[in-house]
Amino acid sequence: MKQFASFKLDMANECLWQDGVQIALQPKPFAVLRYLVEHPGRLITHDELLDALWPNTFVQPQVLRTYMLELRKILGDDAGQPRFIQTLPKRGYCFMAAVTEAAGPLRSAMGPAPEKAHGAGISIRGEERALLEAEIPLVAGGERRVVLISGEAGMGKTALVDAFTPQAVSALAAALARGQCVPGLGGKEQFYPVMEALSHLCASPHGEAACRVLARMAPEWLVTLGRHPEASADSVTHPAARERVTGNLCAALEELAADKPLILLFEDAQWADHDTLNLISALARRRAPAKLLILVTYRPLCLTAGHPLKALKQDLLMRRLCAEIVLKPLAKFAVLQVLARELGQDDLSPELGTFVHRHAEGNPLFAILILRRLIAQRILVRPANNAARWELAAPSQTIDAGVPEELSQMVELEIERLPPEEQRILEAGSLMNFAFPAWAVAAALDRDAAEIEEACDGLARSSYLLERAGQDELPDGSHSAFYVFTHGLYREVLYQRQTAARRARWHIRIAGRLGELFAGREACVAREMALHYEAAESWLSGALALRAAAHYAAERGAHGEAIELLERALRISVNLSTAEREGQIREMRGALQAARDAMRHRAEIESEAPIKV
């Protein structure tokens, strides 16, 4: 546990604490902060940070800016007058605060220990569950309440409401009406989740009373459900029966909630139709007393600019007519709880928890899917000498997490909803790892960069797969925006769905564009160019780019880096044709020996230098 100012960085559980309150950090920002805190008081260059956190992977240095902005926001730091993270332009960063060792927070502050974990959505979401439970006495006192529960796919919204609603129904002796919003129906079928909720209510033990109230106050709704009101023989042919009136249903629901509490639950409201959202708005705004609790779950990244739910949420929050509970990524200890519950084993390997947490990025559903994939591939096994325990069959650093099939299918469905042109843009972006600049996509697709940037901005607004992360200046003085995939697994699905031939063609185009952008200074980006050539299996171009990068490193006196680059060039040279291989290998071995001699010579000079007193 590292402490600086009022913060404690919990290395074991991969989370941040401030004055005893846990602050959830996604794995990548946590890794950046951890490296800074572990090396305080000195310059940490962009290359050092990228090499430490993303070894053997090219990552655009600009992505660090995104994480620094996020960390400064969390720490309350000011880039102009920093207390924690100082930016050294064109060089890197320095962690300024004093860092000391500190005792960890009490387990009670973290929630129950893994061996206490039980019940979906309970132990891992204790704080959010407590916020929901606080609504029960308010509803019992006659106060209508609206609670929005937001979180990305797989973050545990349904698990949370599934755990809470039985308790609320029991504590309040309440009726429950549950409706599910469905993608594709929002613009086609009015009130779809409302009708499902009413059907659920009418089929419940409270159904007879609900039907009587609907027959008297909103007969048109009962007719739509296929139930003919018995209160009046004329009600079926009454003009009101031809059109469902929102005000009538509001009055009927308030009548139902006058004495017996009523819980309305609408799930995945990002797909709700306008009429359903208008009903929620009307119920939230009406002033008559009602023992009414409205729970609405949704995915925030699906709320594009102009989305009606986004406008409704902002308006209700501004008027203090609703509360919002945001489900954030789980800390490492909470992911361990999820795994412990799934495997039925209390004392799990920390190595397993670290591996799953890093690849799932704190998403509980993704964690479970990754765990099941490890079991299916026999990477996580029960040893013959202890069948009660699960153990990793190989060191975690050698394991390829891959993409679980269920998750791949889920992402594929979202991708297939996009126009073909937008699918190609995302696929081209995936060639640059989890962060990519617009110019690279334009190069891969042979399109205008400004046009691609505009399309990427549209995707970032309309899709949960992508976010705009900043802007970078190119060598010619122009600017290009860059973007990040919201989850590393999304990028992996997009990369793997392409044919090898197409990927190779696009990689070569990106490498060529890099050479054009840095004309005369190609050695500066030779390492990145080599990665694209290797991915395209253009071995000669890759080897030549690595030699150029090694030459550039040697000129800077970075002989260790030059040796590493030349050794890598030798490894890929085995793929060259016989005619190409002999000459290339001979020249590379000569350059490698020269770099080793230079490094040895420097070490000798430094060892003989007099010690200054």
pTM: 0.71
- What is the residue type of 88? L
- Whether residue 530 is predicted with pLDDT greater than 80 in this model: the reply is yes
The residue length of the chain stands at 613
- Whether residue 235 is predicted with pLDDT greater than 50 in this model: the reply is no
**Residue range 310-361, pLDDT digits in tens:** 999 999 999 999 999 999 888 888 888 899 988 988 888 888 888 898 888 8
Q: How far is the CA of 179 from the CAs of 35, 182, 195, 252, in angstroms?
A: 46, 10, 7, 17
Give the range among 114-118, 166-170, 180-184, 471-475 with minimum mean pLDDT: 114-118
How sure is the predictor about 113, in pLDDT bands with cuts at 50, 70 and 90? very low
pLDDT given at position 574: 85
**Residue range 557-604, pLDDT digits in tens:** 888 888 888 888 888 888 888 878 888 888 888 888 888 888 888 887
Share of the chain above pLDDT 70, in %: 90
Nearest Cα to Cα of residue 198 among 186, 183, 213, 185: 213
pLDDT given at position 60: 62
pLDDT given at position 609: 59
* R_g over Cα of the chain: 29
Cβ neighbours of residue 335 under 8 Å, at least 6 residues apart? 353, 356, 357, 360, 362, 364, 367
Backbone CA torsion sign across 403, 409, 415, 419: positive
Question: How far is residue 441's CA from residue 501's CA, in Å, rounded to a whole number?
Answer: 17
Question: How far is residue 255's CA from residue 249's CA, in Å, rounded to a whole number?
Answer: 10
Nearest Cα to Cα of residue 440 among 502, 548, 512: 512
Question: How far is residue 495's CA from residue 538's CA, in Å, rounded to a whole number?
Answer: 18
For 351-402, give the secondary structure using H, E and C: HHHHHHHHHHCCCHHHHHHHHHHHHHCCCEECCCCCCCCCEECCCHHHCCCC
pLDDT given at position 131: 93
How sure is the predictor about 246, in pLDDT bands with cuts at 50, 70 and 90? confident
Q: Which residues are registered as beta bridge partners of 93?
A: 44, 87
Share of the chain above pLDDT 90, in %: 32
Question: How far is residue 197's CA from residue 331's CA, in Å, rounded to a whole number?
Answer: 34
**DSSP assignment of 110-151:** H-S-GGG--TTTTGGGHHHHHHHHTHHHHHHTT--EEEEEE-
More confident residue, 312 or 118: 312
pLDDT given at position 56: 57
Q: How far is the CA of 495 from the CAs of 379, 426, 486, 507, in angstroms?
A: 24, 9, 15, 12
**Residue range 290-307, pLDDT digits in tens:** 999 999 999 887 776 678
pLDDT given at position 123: 53
Measured in whole angstroms, how far is the alpha carbon of residue 132 from the centre of its chain? 24
The conformation of residue 9, written as its DSSP 8-state character, comes to: E
- 11-25, 401-415, 425-439: which has the highest mean pLDDT? 425-439
Question: How far is residue 305's CA from residue 314's CA, in Å, rounded to a whole number?
Answer: 12
Q: What H or E segment, with its residue span, contains residue 101?
A: strand 100-101
Nearest Cα to Cα of residue 67 among 59, 102, 57, 411: 59
What 3-state DSSP class applies to 597? helix
Question: How far is residue 122's CA from residue 111's CA, in Å, rounded to a whole number?
Answer: 10
- Which two three-digit tokens encode residue 511? 């490498």
- Whether residue 242 is predicted with pLDDT greater than 60 in this model: the reply is no
pLDDT given at position 298: 94
- Whether residue 231 is predicted with pLDDT greater than 80 in this model: the reply is no
CB 351 within 8 A of CB 379: no
How sure is the predictor about 178, in pLDDT bands with cuts at 50, 70 and 90? very high
pLDDT given at position 453: 93
- Whether residue 120 is predicted with pLDDT greater than 70 in this model: the reply is no
How sure is the predictor about 106, in pLDDT bands with cuts at 50, 70 and 90? very low
- Whether residue 230 is predicted with pLDDT greater than 90 in this model: the reply is no
- Whether residue 164 is predicted with pLDDT greater than 50 in this model: the reply is yes
**Where would I find the H helices in 240-273?**
246-256
| Pairing outcome for strands 7-10 and 262-267 | unpaired
What is the residue-averaged pLDDT of the chain?
Answer: 84
pLDDT given at position 228: 67
pLDDT given at position 319: 92
**Residue range 248-289, pLDDT digits in tens:** 999 999 999 988 899 999 999 999 999 999 999 999 999 888
The conformation of residue 104, written as its DSSP 8-state character, comes to: P
